[in-house]
Structure 1
Amino acid sequence: MRTELILSTYNSVRPLLLCLASVARQDVRPHSICVADDGSGPETAAAVAAFAARHPEVPVRHVWHEDRGFEKNVILNRAIASSEADFLVFIDGDVLIHPCFVARHLELARPRRFCTGSLIRLDAEATASVTEEMVAAGLVFERAWLRENRAIDRIGTWLKTMPFPKPVMNFLEVTSPVQKALCGANASAFREDILRINGYDEGIKYGGGDKEFGARLINSGVEGRHVRFTAPLVHLDHPRGYADPERIRRHKAMIAEIRKSGRFWTPDGIAKRNAP
């Protein structure tokens, strides 16, 4: 089973380099890495090329399109369509993944199942203090550092730091009464299952594209499985000037409709056509 890690980015070179530093520390490496670039400038291409040169053990490809505003779903579909892997793991380029992250997604990989986790969020001050050396040393995943930097704000966040042995954390995952809503910054699925629903809906810009994608996977018979306590990642703070509250409201209504209807194919996905 070939695995590809797909990470999305847009004009955020420093977070991308920190993210890639965490990818390089994985206990189990993916067979390839795809940087799905939503129209970044040449600095991002240079950063990806430099990382690839330093890590020839893992093939890295850079999938790019011109900047037309927030079109993350479009570039993700291009990455999915061009991938040669069987199993895809999705993250954003502004997260730091724990060394066990890819291994845990692979451990739970099953056809007709997607896995999804959650985030430990850093504020702006903590984000500014993170260095590649800290990521390489694993400091950013240590409970004491996260607590000192205000990232552990409730018991749920504390549990994301894996305070108990893995069997206990696994039990908490499967018994936690949390909706199986897909988080695009921490997710995985078989490519065949993604193609069956025609990938992401490209008509959705910022606000709920990952949730809509997950709802259609569930409608197609793919079961959701949480990894919120056993596949930790740390999210770097950043501004969201592209957020549109009215568009987010419309997308929430769309997702609710999809959950009720049972529809799983989008005509505005990888293939531009109605359901076969």
Structure 2
Amino acid sequence: MQPGCDFTTTLLISTYNKPDYLRQTLLSVARQTVLPDEVVVADDGSTDETRQLIDEIRTLIPIPIQRVWHPDDGFRKCEILNKALAQAAGEYIIQTDGDIILERHFMADHLEMAERGYFVCGSRILLPEEVTRRILDGTQELPRLRDGKIGFWFNGLRIGWLRHYLTKRFGKKAERGIRGCNTAYWKADLVAVNGFNEDITGWGAEDAEMAFRMMHNRVRKKILKMGGIAYHMWHPLSSDDRLQINEAILKTVKNDPDKVRCDNGIDKHLSEL
């Protein structure tokens, strides 16, 4: 438990075969003004190069880093997230992806927003390909606000009083602002809705589908603006061949306020512990 917190925290990072990107994510964790109690990497079947990277980075971060891995059998992000969350020790989960560089106040800003009965959705700044290449090859150490695409500059501002003013006023539309690369929730709230829906495979809709089930279970949404800054490094887009199926699952949940728990979720992984 970190000083000033009355709860324990886990930073959850999802990854798949991008060790050079994950290196930048983990190095940005090391620069945080406030550290989580642990880092859990949810690894959806990466090769041994990712394990070797994590072993190397452990020497730079004075907190436990746990890698939860399963064999590569296609895009199974929901399943590996559930497996990782089942093993996470933190009461409060702050979630991001292994292609995100966290501004050094990212953890502190999220902890400032933590409140029982709420989950938190943050934003991102998309970095162009040329900036990402410079960061990955070491010719540029850190991203800057002006490096991001112009339409995302608002997401790179950090203003404390405005952050608190906007948190329950911005993004009133239910589905607005739900991104798994910058979100936080109480583990107990996630377990209550049976975690991520493993019927969703491939890219798309898994974060919003889970969030709607939590909202149906009377967990309210906060938006984190003017803080929790996350830089999303450029990479080729994932295949969207399952997107139509995943969005149909999401639509069913959105339209049914009684749909709280998914059938194929975290419970089986918790029972295996």
TM-score, with structure 2 as normaliser: 0.89
Question: Compared with structure 1, are the counterparts of its residues 19 and 47 closer, same or farther at alpha carbon in structure 2 (3 Å cutoff)?
Answer: same
The residue number in structure 2 matching 1:252 is: 247
Partner Cα distance (1:180, 1:229) in 2: 20
Displacement of 1:179 in angstroms is 2.9
Equivalent residues of 1:173, 1:228 under 8 A apart:
yes
* Worse-superposed segment, 179-188 or 22-31: 179-188
**More displaced 10-residue stretch of structure 1: 25-34 or 108-117:** 108-117
SS at match of 2:267: coil
Counterpart residue number, 1:143: 145
Unaligned runs of 5+ in 2: 1-6
The answer (yes or no) to whether the contact 1:173–1:229 under 8 Å persists in 2 is no
Residues 174, 130 of structure 1: alpha-carbon distance in 2 compared, 3 angstrom cutoff: same
**What pairs with 1:256-271 in structure 2 (closer than 5 Å)?**
256-262=251-257, 263-271=259-267
Structure 1 residue 115 corresponds to structure 2 residue 91: no
Q: Give the aligned partner of residue 5 of structure 1.
A: 11
Task: Give the structure 2 partner of residue 95 of structure 1.
Answer: 100
Offset from partner CA, 1:88-146 (integer Å, 9 cap, x none): 110000000111111111111122210011210012222101146844xxx41x334x2
Give the ranges of 4+ consecutive aligned residues of structure 1 lying more than 6 Å apart after TM superposition.
Answer: none
SS in structure 2 of the partner of residue 130 of structure 1: helix
Q: Distance in 2 between matches of 1:177 and 1:184?
A: 16
Task: Indicate yes or no: 2:74 matched with 1:69.
Answer: yes
Amino acid at match of 2:260: F
Q: Check the 8 A contact 1:120/1:233 in 2, yes or no.
A: yes
Which of the numbers 179, 198, 202 marks the counterpart of 2:198? 202
- Aligned residue type for 2:126: R
Report the counterpart of residue 231 of structure 2 in structure 1.
234
What is the deviation of 1:180? 4.3
2:109 corresponds to: 104
Residue number among 212, 217, 225 corresponding to 1:215 in the alignment: 212
Letter in 2 for 1:204: I
Q: Is the 8 A contact 2:16 2:43 kept in 1?
A: yes
Q: Secondary structure at the match of 1:229?
A: coil
Q: How many angstroms does 1:61 deviate by?
A: 0.6
Within 5 Å, give how 1:140-179 maps onto structure 2. Answer: 140=143, 142-144=144-146, 146=147, 151-154=148-151, 157-162=152-157, 165-179=159-173
The change in CA–CA distance for 1:177 and 1:241 in structure 2 (over 3 A counts) is closer
Cα deviation, 1:181-214, whole Å, max 9, x if unaligned, reads 3211001111100100010001101211111011
Amino acid at match of 1:21: L
CA contact (8 A) 1:27 1:99 kept: yes
In structure 1, the gaps of 5 or more residues are none
3-state SS of paired residue (2:185): strand
Q: Which residue is 2:86 aligned to?
A: 81
Given that 1:119 and 1:232 are in contact with CA atoms closer than 8 Å, whether structure 2 keeps it comes out as: yes
Alpha-carbon distance in 2 for matches of 1:133, 1:85: 36
TM-score, normalised to structure 1, is 0.88
Change (3 A) 1:177 1:209: closer
Question: How far 1:176 moved relative to its partner?
Answer: 2.7
Matched, 1:19 2:13: no
Shift of 1:53: 2.2
Q: Distance in 2 between matches of 1:257 and 1:40?
A: 32
Residues 177, 211 of structure 1: CA spacing in aligned structure 2 closer, same or farther, 3 A cutoff?
Answer: closer
Measured after TM superposition, the shift of residue 256 of structure 1 is 2.2
Assess, with a 3 A threshold, how the Cα gap between structure 1 residues 7 and 95 changes in structure 2: closer, same or farther.
same
What residue is the counterpart of 1:38 in the other structure? 44
Which residue does 1:48 correspond to in 2? 54
Q: Kindly, what percent of the aligned residue pairs are identical? A: 29
Q: Matches of 1:103 and 1:89 in 2, distance apart?
A: 11
CA–CA separation in structure 2 for the residues paired with 1:187 and 1:168: 19
Whether the 8 Å CA contact 2:30–2:60 is kept in 1: the answer is no
Letter in 1 for 2:250: I
Structure 1 residue 250: deviation in Å?
A: 2.6
Deviations along 1:223-270, whole A, 9 cap, x unmatched? 1101133111000111134321xx212322322221221111011001
Contact 2:166-2:225 at 8 Å conserved across structures: no
SS state at 2:58 partner: helix
